[in-house]
Amino acid sequence: MTAFACVLSISLGAQLVALACPSSSRFSSKTAIRILLSNLAIVCFFVWFGSLLPLRPYPDLLFAEVSFLALLSAWPAAYQWRLRQWFDLALSLPLGIGATSLLWFVWLLVGGRDASVPFALIMCAVSLALSVLLMIVRHRKQATSRQELSPNLERHYLIEISACLGGICSLLHITSRLAHEPLGLWDAWMLWNTRAHFLFRSGADWMKQFSGHDIFLWLHPDYPLLLPASVSAIWQLKGQESVAAPMLISGLFTVAVISILMFGVALLRTRNQGYLAGLAIMSVPVLYLWGCSQQADVPLSAYMLAALVCFSLHEVTNQNGLLYLSGTFAGMAAWTKNEGGLFALVFCTVAFLGLWATSQTKSFRIRKLAYLAFGLFPWALLLILFKIFLAPETDLFQQPLPELWAKLFTPGRYPQILSSFCREFTWFGSPFLVLYGLLFGLRFPRSKLIPVLVIAATVFGMFTGYFLVYVISPVDPSKLLAGSQERLFLQTWPSLLLLFFSVVQTPEDIYRRFSARTNLSSTAPSAMADDP
């Protein structure tokens, strides 16, 4: 089943999150050895049995067993499922899919199709190696290096019930939309899934789609390959093409955007603030339209949001593994779509300045920046090699330089694009956010000033980049805005909601202020009556 291959991919992400941010749950030596030997024996049995009689259930059972061992190593039985653990699970969804696409693409580059080792065994071997590494790390770790956040535990049941109902409705909406449009929208079957078919079917000729021939130009071969590579990797693990693979991946990314925003804000501020952020993103209709369309815009928004949340949590917990994850998600964003390259450039520049400003010594700054760069480096290298040796030049920069400068200094383009941006902000619900902020005010701890500034500068840089792209585009701005503006705003909207709920007052603050004023007004008449 396709679901087993997706679970194997997600379990890989869970292991990477657990390695970057180890928790306090430990294995004893006897338990670790027993788990390893028993599961490795079962895996070896499946490999031997499949070589003798390659039944169809064999790979599914193998993936299930390897996934079980991977998840057990990442989340032991003693694992306590608090907010941070649910946040780790949310990060595992996009991280595992991105890591699978990287392994698949590298396997293609080194000629894996011509080798005798199938991709499924490569995935299982990587997962088993990470399982062994995780168990060793957990066995040797005497105390946790992970600072658990303790958000305000005041419970407002109306907000919790609303968030639960909203989550159920969102899952039902995602499921029904995927069932109604199993092939996705136009760009999905014309572009993203077609490129996945090329990667899966072409064998040793998979590079011909980047040859620059006119017949391949409609495929946009300059677009990065995270989404097509992840879909074709699931097909390779399954052994055949399936409509379920792109459906599951698009649904998982949509759930990931909601979960990362909700649990991330809950960790950064309070639990109820996180529920409100989740309700805000769940109330955006276009999230389900484009999230279930099997296109790359919602996956890109998930990676952008994850990078910003991980950086913000690092500034609160001072856990360097979160910096590594932040750089990794920024690199995955660049490997998802061309707009992700802009995000990686803007975010890493702003994060560099933020880390440099907060670090007190030179060695401390270098160590912090090294974690960020280490997470970004493999993806940046992969993207640079892809752009230099495979992808043709982007059509945006195929224009002569004088023509680009002429468009930059054409005043008539700016009001048209700016007015269209304002209308789109209104459509996404920004007036309600402004009204909420004016009613309840802004308030956040001074310790979170740097994360707020980094998020704000990154979001502003992204919208500035979008604006300039529309200005210099060779296509008429009105046509381009009508066809792409909604998707571009959706890429950045979850990050903008993260910024808003990071600075606005929490329900706990509002409730305490209201209670204080009520108590003051109730005690004032009695004090006046007692006054002689």
CA distance 361 to 319: 17
pLDDT tens digits, residue range 54-105?
444 446 656 665 676 676 666 665 445 578 888 999 999 999 999 999 999 9
pTM, whole model, 2 decimals?
0.91
pLDDT at 313: 93
Nearest CA to 189 out of 234, 238, 241 is that of: 241
Report yes or no on 67 lying in a domain.
yes
Name the band, by pLDDT with cuts 50, 70 and 90, for residue 45.
low
Report yes or no on 6 lying in a domain.
yes
Cβ contacts of 453 within 8 Å, gap of 6 or more: 354
Report yes or no on 133 lying in a domain.
yes
pLDDT at 138: 65
Cβ contacts of 36 within 8 Å, gap of 6 or more: 131, 132, 135
Nearest CA to 343 out of 304, 302, 384, 296 is that of: 304
Buried b (16+ CB within 10 A) or exposed e, 7-21: bbbbbbbbbbbbbbb
Cβ contacts of 449 within 8 Å, gap of 6 or more: none
Report yes or no on 189 lying in a domain.
no
Neighbours of 142 (CB within 10 A): 7
Residue 86: which domain range?
1-141
CA atoms within 13 A on the CB side of 26: 11
pLDDT at 365: 82
Over residues 480-493, the mean pLDDT reads: 92
CA 36 to chain centre: 31
Cβ contacts of 523 within 8 Å, gap of 6 or more: none
Name the band, by pLDDT with cuts 50, 70 and 90, for residue 171.
very high
Whether 307 contacts 326, CB under 8 Å: yes
Rounded to 10°, the helix 297-317/449-472 angle is: 150
Whether 146 contacts 23, CB under 8 Å: yes
Name the band, by pLDDT with cuts 50, 70 and 90, for residue 262.
very high
Report yes or no on 13 lying in a domain.
yes
Report yes or no on 392 lying in a domain.
no
Name the band, by pLDDT with cuts 50, 70 and 90, for residue 39.
low
Share of the chain above pLDDT 90, in %: 42
Report yes or no on 121 lying in a domain.
yes
CA distance 367 to 258: 32
pLDDT at 56: 46
pLDDT at 109: 87
Neighbours of 320 (CB within 10 A): 18
**Domain count along the chain:** 1
For residue 233, give the amino acid letter.
A
Q: Does residue 12 have a pLDDT over 80?
A: yes
Report yes or no on 283 lying in a domain.
no
CA distance 138 to 134: 6
CA distance 109 to 113: 9
Q: Does residue 392 have a pLDDT over 60?
A: yes
CA atoms within 13 A on the CB side of 130: 30
Q: Does residue 125 have a pLDDT over 90?
A: no
CA distance 312 to 322: 9
pLDDT at 476: 84
DSSP state of 409: T
